[in-house]
């Protein structure tokens, strides 16, 4: 799998880390719009690269928010966050360190990262840990991601067999920070970029040749939905900077729901406008569609919408 420019996704990711191009402004620090713009451009170029790049940038933001100082050299090593299904890995104390055991699914960059932040269930709750991916006992399992979508992100199940880990923060710190939701909005920036990359195919086709009125109507609808999603995304960036400790939960869910709906509309309308041709004959476009389709399912769909409904119910004036 390759990025649009022909560079393999894994090589592009390593190059971006080494070159400092993923040292993004921290969310809530006054330049969140710049952070989101960088994530949008990653998603537009290659959704799998965006998935890896967002994970690296999120790991650095988490460490900063939790007051952990990392060696400058570690910033030039690829990081990731493996936090799905916390109960799938258990943590036991071993002196001043910990040992992790279990199988963690959905680990992006399983064979590409140097370090990762991993959630695990300990006696006192869910904790966050830092591990070296190349350490003894860390085994990315083969054949645990047979899908075409997001194949270039090297997402696999990783087995932990008594892996030495360093605790980061206290119980519950990973999800209790405002930055947890800021990171969720950052993922939506990647989704938005992926949708723009798919919309580019329709825009380019309209500029190269005369399309029929139905295709042009689809292009108009794509323009409208992307413009609305972009407005919501970057308004959220401004709100995060203005009030970093505010109602980040509701804000992130609003942004994610809006961008997910917009991206889904783009995939559908571009397909209806251009037909099967690009999906069958344009490898980059077909890969983008497959990648974004998988990436959007990082949303919890109706469960997330129901949670947003509960948050809206809890406030007297929803601000509409």
- Which of 222, 212, 169, 162 minimizes the C-alpha distance to 192? 222
- Which of 304, 303, 279, 302 minimizes the C-alpha distance to 292? 279
Q: How many residues does the chain have?
A: 320
| Segment 197-208 mean pLDDT | 97
Q: pLDDT by residue (tens digit) across 93-134?
A: 998 889 999 999 999 999 999 999 999 999 999 999 999 999
Band (pLDDT 50/70/90 cuts) for residue 73 is confident
Domains, the chain = 9-76 (no CATH), 80-174 (2.40.110.10), 177-313 (1.20.140.10)
How far is Cα 30 from Cα 244, in angstroms, rounded to an integer?
9
Q: Which residues contact 142 (CB under 8 A, 6 or more apart)?
A: 156
Task: Answer for the pair 4, 284: CB distance below 8 angstroms, yes or no.
Answer: yes
Cβ atoms within 10 Å of 153's Cβ, excluding its own: 29
**Is the pLDDT score of 3 beyond 90?**
no
Q: pLDDT by residue (tens digit) across 238-273?
A: 999 999 999 999 999 999 999 999 999 999 999 999
According to the model, what pLDDT value does residue 72 have? 86
Main-chain phi, psi angles of 78, to 5 degrees: -70, 125
Q: What's the predicted TM-score (pTM) here?
A: 0.96
């Amino acid at each position: 799998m390759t990025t649009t420019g022909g560079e393999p996704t894994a090589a592009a990711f390593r190059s971006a880390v080494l070159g400092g191009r993923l040292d993004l402004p921290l969310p809530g620090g006054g330049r969140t719009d710049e952070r989101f713009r960088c994530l949008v451009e990653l998603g537009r170029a290659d959704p799998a690269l965006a998935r890896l790049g967002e994970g690296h940038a999120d790991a650095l933001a988490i460490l900063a928010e939790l007051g952990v100082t990392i060696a400058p050299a570690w910033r030039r090593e690829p990081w990731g966050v493996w936090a799905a299904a916390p109960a799938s890995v258990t943590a036991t104390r071993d002196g001043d360190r910990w040992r992790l055991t279990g199988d963690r699914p959905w680990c992006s960059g399983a064979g590409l990262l140097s370090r990762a932040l991993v959630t695990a269930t300990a006696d006192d709750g869910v904790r966050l840990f830092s591990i070296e991916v190349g350490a003894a006992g860390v085994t990315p399992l083969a054949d645990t991601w047979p899908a075409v979508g997001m194949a270039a992100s090297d997402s696999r199940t990783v087995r932990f067999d008594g892996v030495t880990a360093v605790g980061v923060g206290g119980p519950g710190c990973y999800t209790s920070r405002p930055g947890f939701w800021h990171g969720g909005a950052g993922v939506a920036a990647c989704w938005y970029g992926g949708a723009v990359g798919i919309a580019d195919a329709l825009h380019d086709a309209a500029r190269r040749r005369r399309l029929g009125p139905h295709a042009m109507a689809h292009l108009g609808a794509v323009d409208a939905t992307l413009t609305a999603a972009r407005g919501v995304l970057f308004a959220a960036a401004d709100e995060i900077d203005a009030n970093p400790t505010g109602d980040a939960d509701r804000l992130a869910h609003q942004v994610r729901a809006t961008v997910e709906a917009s991206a889904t509309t783009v995939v559908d309308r571009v397909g209806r406008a251009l037909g099967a041709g690009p999906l069958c004959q344009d490898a980059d476009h077909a890969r983008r569609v497959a990648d974004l389709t998988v990436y959007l399912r990082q949303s919890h769909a109706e469960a997330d919408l129901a949670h947003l409904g509960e948050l809206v119910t809890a406030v007297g004036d929803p601000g509409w």
